[in-house]
Amino acid sequence: GENVEQHPSTLSVQEGDSAVIKCTYSDSASNYFPWYKQELGKRPQLIIDIRSNVGEKKDQRIAVTLNKTAKHFSLHITETQPEDSAVYFCAAASGGGGNKLTFGTGTQLKVEL
């Protein structure tokens, strides 16, 4: 089955700096890669996703890049703000919209003032 590795497990940045979280996956059939943000005690919320026919996708301060050959994808957050502090999970799935998500282990992002 699919295996998703995520690094780093914790990340601390200064407000205004950029943050990068990286994931690798094992199943070459995976073609859908969402990122979820989970604040303490809250539900995971989708922040951005990318499909394998696209190499990069951007939404305001958030971008995701995908390298299919190397089987890795990354989340980039620019101009970080304190409200970006949360746990971020990457996931991988086959079947377009994500029939069966395999999650990474999560990254605790802390944005310091």
Partner 1 sequence: SAVISQKPSRDICQRGTSLTIQCQVDSQVTMMFWYRQQPGQSLTLIATANQGSEATYESGFVIDKFPISRPNLTFSTLTVSNMSPEDSSIYLCSARQGGNQPQHFGDGTRLSIL
Q: Looking at 63, 106, 109, 111, which residue binds partner 1 (CB under 8 A)?
A: 106
Strands (E), 1-113: 4-7, 10-14, 19-25, 32-38, 45-51, 56-59, 62-67, 72-77, 86-92, 102-103, 107-112
Judged by CB under 8 A, does residue 84 bind partner 1? no
Exactly one of 44, 66, 75, 92 binds partner 1 (CB under 8 A); which one?
44
For residue 80, the minimal CB distance to partner 1 (Å) is 22
Quick one: which segment of 17-25, 35-43, 59-67, 75-83 binds partner 1 (CB under 8 A)?
35-43
Q: Specify whether the CB–CB gap between 74 and 20 falls below 8 A.
A: yes
